[in-house]
Amino acid sequence: MYEVKVMADFAAAHNLRNFRGRCENLHGHNWKVEVTVRGDRLEESGVLVDFGEVKDALRKALHQLDHQYLNDLTYFQDKNPSSELIARYLFETLSAVIDGPHRRVHSVSAWESKDSCATYYGER
């Protein structure tokens, strides 16, 4: 099994509805996102997936979130834009682009601070 990881960041504001605590108030984060792709077979070139392909897909996905009020985005209209659900949103978005016969997005972690993150692994 092979594993490739790519990281990027974005800044956005949100608040957690029906949450008892400070995060119920409008606030922002400088998120760091880590994407892990796993696969059992390398391409002829000796790589699992081109880092540039993963970075490009992640950059496009993060463009939709960067400097936004996440609660206003369609995906989060009926759910909280928590780190857990941001990771899931990115997992689903990236899986649609990156997954192939011998590779798949294994996990996405959304770091809201240097010491706090949530990771989504999918339901496969």
Active site (catalytic) residues: 23, 67, 112
Determine whether the annotation assigns residue 29 to a binding site. yes
Determine whether the annotation assigns residue 63 to a binding site. no
Determine whether the annotation assigns residue 102 to a binding site. no
- DSSP label at residue 79: S
Cα within 13 Å of Cα(116), Cβ side: 8
Task: Specify whether the CB–CB gap between 51 and 105 falls below 8 A.
Answer: no
Which residues make up each annotated binding site for Zn(2+)? 14, 27, 29
Which residues make up each annotated binding site? 14, 27, 29
